[in-house]
Amino acid sequence: MFLLPAIALPFLFFFAIRRLWRIPRGLLQGRLHVPARRRPLLATASAVAYAVLLGYTAGLAAELVRLGLASHDPLSALVSVTVYVLVYPLVYLAAEWVFYYGIKAAPGA
């Protein structure tokens, strides 16, 4: 049960960082927009999903780096953050689901 998230974690970190980088750039450049239908709800949900994904990614990365530098036994250190590592794919999937409905490519892009 722990092996699949451990293998997927580096890929999910890469995809999350890429998504966290591209969303603000796309919105500022006009390549992305929030659809006009149900705009306040979608904009709020997208902002909350972005903040949660950003916070969880930064927190998990900081915790893994701290445990990697401060621990003499990396395996026991990884066991202490098992729950956070197992939940990260679900957080990423939920954020992507919200982004799929809440942020679309601009018609002219």
Q: Which residues pair with 105 in a beta bridge?
A: 32
Is the pLDDT reported for residue 52 higher than 70?
yes
How far is it, in rounded angstroms, from Cα 55 to Cα 51?
Answer: 6
CA-CA distances (angstroms) from residue 82 to 1, 55, 63, 93?
Answer: 11, 18, 11, 18
Task: Round the average pLDDT of the chain to a whole number and report it.
Answer: 86
Q: How many domains does the chain have?
A: 1
pLDDT computed for residue 66 by the predictor: 84
Q: Residue 108 — very low, low, confident or very high, per pLDDT cuts 50/70/90?
A: confident
How far is it, in rounded angstroms, from Cα 63 to Cα 88?
Answer: 13
Q: Residue 58 — very low, low, confident or very high, per pLDDT cuts 50/70/90?
A: very high
Provide the residue range defining the domain that includes 40: 3-105
Q: Which residues contact 22 (CB under 8 A, 6 or more apart)?
A: none
The two tokens of residue 90 are: 């679900």
pLDDT computed for residue 2 by the predictor: 63
Angle at 18 between CA 15 and CA 82, to 5 degrees: 40
